[in-house]
A and B are shown apart, each in its own frame.
Chain A
Amino acid sequence: MARSRPEPMQVVKQRRDAALKALVEGVPYIRFLNISFDRRGDELTGVLNFDEKLIGNPFLPAIHGGVTAAFLEVTAVITLSWEHLFPRIESGEIDADDILKDENIRFPKTIDFTVDYLRSGLPRDAYARAFISRSGRRYASVRVEAWQDNHAKLFAQASGHFLMPQPKPGKG
Chain B
Amino acid sequence: MQDKTKLARQFIEAIPHAKALGLELTYIGAGEAEISMPYNEDLIGDPRTGVIHGGAVSAMMDTCCGAAVMSHPSAPGGTATIDLRIDYMRAATPGQRITTRATCYHITRNVAFVRATAMDDDQDRPVATASGSFTVEGK
Taking Cβ atoms with an 8 Å cutoff, the residues of A that contact B are: 26-33, 52-58, 62, 64-67, 69-71, 73-74, 103, 107, 109-117, 120
Contact = CB atoms under 8 A, between A and B. Distances in A.
Contacts of B53: 27, 29-30, 70, 74
13 contacts: A26-B47, A27-B53, A32-B20, A32-B43, A53-B19, A56-B63, A58-B14, A64-B17, A64-B63, A65-B80, A69-B59, A113-B85, A120-B80
B44 A29 contact: yes
A110 to B, nearest CB: 5
B70 to A, nearest CB: 12
Contacts of A109: 88, 91
Shortest 3 CB-CB contacts between residues of A and residues of B: A66-B59, A70-B55, A29-B53
How many chain B residues sit at the interface, stated as a range, is 35 or more
Nearest to A105: B48
B42 interface: yes
The DSSP consensus for interface residues of chain A is mixed
Interface string B46-60: 111000111110111
Nearest to B45: A29
Contact of B55 (A53, A55, A56, A73): A73
Contacts of A29: 42-45, 52-53, 55-56
Interface in B57-79: 58-63, 66, 78
Contacts of B62: 64-66, 69
Nearest to B46: A107
A65 B80 CA distance: 8
A73 B48 CA distance: 19
B86 interface: yes
B121 to A, nearest CB: 21
Given A57-B15, A58-B15, A67-B17, 16 more contacts: A28-B44, A28-B47, A29-B44, A32-B20, A55-B15, A55-B16, A57-B80, A64-B15, A65-B81, A66-B58, A69-B84, A109-B88, A110-B86, A113-B85, A113-B88, A120-B80
Nearest to A31: B42
B47 A27 contact: yes
A103 B48 contact: yes
Contact of A111 (B14, B15, B78, B87): B87
